[in-house]
Chain A
Amino acid sequence: MKAIKYISMIASCAFLLTACGGGDKLEDNEAVDTAATTKSTTPDISEEVLADLIQSIPTPLEMSSSIKESGAKFDPKILNDVDNVEKYKTSYKQAFNLGVYGANLAYINIYEKTLSSLEYLNAMRVLSDNLKIGQFFDFNSMKRFASSDDNIDSLIYSSTIAFNNMDSELRKQKRGNLSVLMVTGTWLEGLHVATQVTKSNKNKTIEDKIGEQKMVLDNLFVILDMYKDDPYFKEVSTEIQKIKTEFDKVEIKYTYKEPESKVVNGRLVIVDNSTTEIVMKPENLQAIIKITDEVRNKLIAL
């Protein structure tokens, strides 16, 4: 009998110790609507597949980097106003616009506009706190990094880590629906920035980057479609479908050739001999620019 008690005691201690290492418990919060604390309905695919689809969506840093590389000037007018943060009262809107502001922050950081970074970091902190994932947002460190142009790489690194951690925490908490909205907001805003830039700066590289989004959109649409029974998702999905209709007219030609590898300074470098070509008519691009602006403006005001 003593032995059973002893084993039970050890097992209890072990359980308590290991349980402490788990994710933070989601607490009730009256300020947050039901959707924030209610776990999402399980989609038809496994969590692993959902996680993979979500993380396959490229970071807005890449698009912003291409925009800067094209010689386009920084334009703060195309960003979502930080004052709008007060309007986002539901967890769905908060998650979507956390993604939108995340894309804005990537654009700001790539252009090293550290003063604007602080405003956007603050807006993101408000939204992430409301969503109960603010613990991943080390605002003080980021504020310190944003105070000097020399620390821009650290700011990009820490904000990217924070963003990725918030996304994976939402999925860990079985709130994958919010993670999907976050990544949708990020992608849409990244596309919006690129399409707005290309209106005043005609550049083939940026146009190709916009055309390439057809592939990303296909993945994103699969994810959004999983939650189509939810009215908010249905609305988002209907709007994104309008963009998809235009992207369906874009053609991506792929030519495969065997890759090669070489060693350069101890690093394995691949020589990619395959190519893709984006075929997009000018009127198709204009239609994408127009519909992206309309959809994005509607969704950030929804």
Chain B
Amino acid sequence: MRKLILKITGLIVGVMFSQFSMAQCDSDDFLDDCASQLETFTFIKAFNTTLKAGPGAKQEVSYVFSKGSEYIIVACDQNNKGGKMIVSLFDRTHKLVASTYSPQMKRHFPSLVFPCQATGVYYIEFKFEADKGGCGVGILGFDKK
């Protein structure tokens, strides 16, 4: 019986801990730190991403990008589990435009800059390296050329 109590207590504490960990990822400080990487770009939106580990775990949002505007997407994560957050941009037909992870270079980029030449709906996908779970925030900003 004592083992059962310990297991249940552990489970409850675990759930509470994970909730508080997620809350940190949503905190204003975390957002402000990430937003500071926008530099000269103007803040548009923040996309909070919390994903459980698993095959194909991802979050997708859409946004209408406008020709003549330059956009930036900054990727920030807490990197608790060793999996960096990867942000990928897809066009209206879901063709990949670019990703913050380059398999050729085996390199992660902290942001991607997109000087838009074709107005339309674009899809921004957030996932974690090797389908690991985690939490992070993607920040969208814009600048006039």
Residues of A within 8 A of B (CB): 3, 6-7, 10-11, 14, 17-18, 21, 52-53, 55-59, 61-62, 65-66, 69, 153, 156-157, 160-161, 164, 205, 208-209, 212, 215-216, 219, 252, 254-256, 259, 261, 263-264, 266-276, 278
Contacts and interface: CB of A to CB of B under 8 A. Distances in A.
Given A69-B144, A274-B91, A216 B64 contact: yes
B137 to A, nearest CB: 12
Contact of B15 (A14, A157, A205, A271): A14
Contact of A273 (B63, B117, B142): B117
A276 B42 contact: no
Given A6-B5, A10-B8, A275 B112 contact: no
Contacts of A14: 12-13, 15-16
A212 B66 contact: yes
Interface in B49-97: 60-64, 66-69, 89, 91-93, 95, 97
Interface of B: 1, 4-5, 8-9, 12-13, 15-16, 19-20, 23, 31, 35, 42-46, 60-64, 66-69, 89, 91-93, 95, 97-98, 100, 102, 109-121, 142, 144
A95 to B, nearest CB: 19
Given A267-B110, A268-B113, 11 more contacts: A18-B19, A52-B62, A61-B44, A62-B66, A164-B46, A212-B64, A212-B67, A215-B121, A264-B113, A272-B118, A276-B119
A156 B40 CA distance: 13
8 contacts: A56-B64, A62-B69, A66-B68, A153-B42, A156-B42, A157-B35, A161-B46, A274-B91
Contacts of A216: 64
Given A259-B97, A261-B98, A276-B119, A268 B63 contact: no
Nearest to B99: A268
A61 B15 CA distance: 40
Given A62-B142, A156-B43, A268 B64 contact: no
Contacts of A156: 42-43
Contacts of B91: 256, 274
